[in-house]
Amino acid sequence: MTDKWKYKSVSLKNSTYSMLNDLSKTLVPGIELSNAKTIEQLILDKNKSKCSLGSKPGGTHGENKKET
């Protein structure tokens, strides 16, 4: 049984879902990824490029934290 605490689902417009399917076939040459792995890879790549542009790794990812 799937661990409901480990996974989440997302809703996409049909046009976005179609683009996701296309990306799943071209993102990694020679390998067709699942939609979940495609999304995961895109997020990891985006986060890596964001961190390499000067953001601190392990940052708040847009969350505002107040110091006490």
Predicted confidence at residue 62, as pLDDT, reads 52
Q: What is the DSSP letter of 47?
A: H
Counting the structural domains of the chain, the total is 1
* 68 residues of the chain, pLDDT tens digit each: 778 888 889 999 999 999 999 999 999 999 999 999 999 999 999 999 888 877 555 555 555 555 54
Q: Is residue 66 part of a domain?
A: no
Q: Is residue 44 part of a domain?
A: yes
| Residue position matching structure tokens 């708040």 | 60
This prediction has a pTM of 0.67
Q: Is residue 29 part of a domain?
A: yes
Asked if 39 contacts 32 with a C-beta cutoff of 8 angstroms, the reply is no
The domain in which residue 26 lies consists of 14-52
Predicted confidence at residue 6, as pLDDT, reads 87
Q: Is residue 26 part of a domain?
A: yes
Q: Is residue 67 part of a domain?
A: no
